[in-house]
Chain A
Amino acid sequence: MPVNEGQVMQFQFASIADFLSMNGHGVYVWIAYGISFAALAALALQPALRRRSMQRELARQQRIQQRRRERTQARPEPLAVSE
Chain B
Amino acid sequence: MAWQWFHRLGSPRWFYQKTSGWLPWLAAASVLLLLVGTVWGLGFAPQDAKQGNSYRIIYIHVPAAFLALAGYYIMAFSGAIGLIWKMKLSYAVMRAAAPIGAVLTFIALFTGSLWGKPTWGTYWVWDARITSMLILLFLYVGVIALSRAFAREQVADKACALLALVGTVNIPIIYKSVDWWFTLHQPATIKLTESSSIDPSMFYPLLVMIIGFYCFYAWTLLVHTRNLILQREWRTQWAQQVLRGEPLGDAG
Residue positions of A touching B, CB distance < 8 A: 2, 5, 8-13, 19, 22-26, 28-29, 31-33, 35-36, 39-40, 42-44, 46-47, 50-51, 54-55, 58
Contacts and interface: CB of A to CB of B under 8 A. Distances in A.
B60 interface: yes
B22 interface: no
B199 to A, nearest CB: 9
B106 interface: yes
Interface string B231-246: 1001000001001100
Given A54-B234, A54-B243, 10 more contacts: A8-B44, A12-B46, A23-B52, A28-B114, A36-B111, A42-B103, A44-B219, A44-B220, A51-B230, A55-B244
Contacts of B99: 43, 46
A2 to B, nearest CB: 5
A22 B140 CA distance: 34
Interface magnitude class on chain B: 35 or more
Contacts of A47: 220, 223-224, 226-227
B38 A39 contact: no
Contacts of A44: 216, 219-220, 223
Nearest to B27: A44
Contacts of A50: 227, 231
Given A39-B106, A43-B220, A12 B47 contact: yes
Q: Is the interface of A mostly helix, strand, loop or mixed?
A: helix
Contacts of B110: 32, 35-36
Contact of A33 (B42, B53, B216): B42
Contacts of A58: 234, 240, 243-244
B107 interface: yes
Given A23-B52, A44-B220, A47-B224, A5 B46 contact: yes
A19 B106 contact: no
Nearest to A35: B110
B187 interface: no
Contacts of A25: 52-54, 56, 118
A38 to B, nearest CB: 10
Contact of B53 (A8, A23, A36): A23
Nearest to A54: B243
A26 to B, nearest CB: 7
A39 B220 CA distance: 12
Contacts of A43: 99-100, 103, 220
A39 B103 contact: yes
A21 B114 CA distance: 15
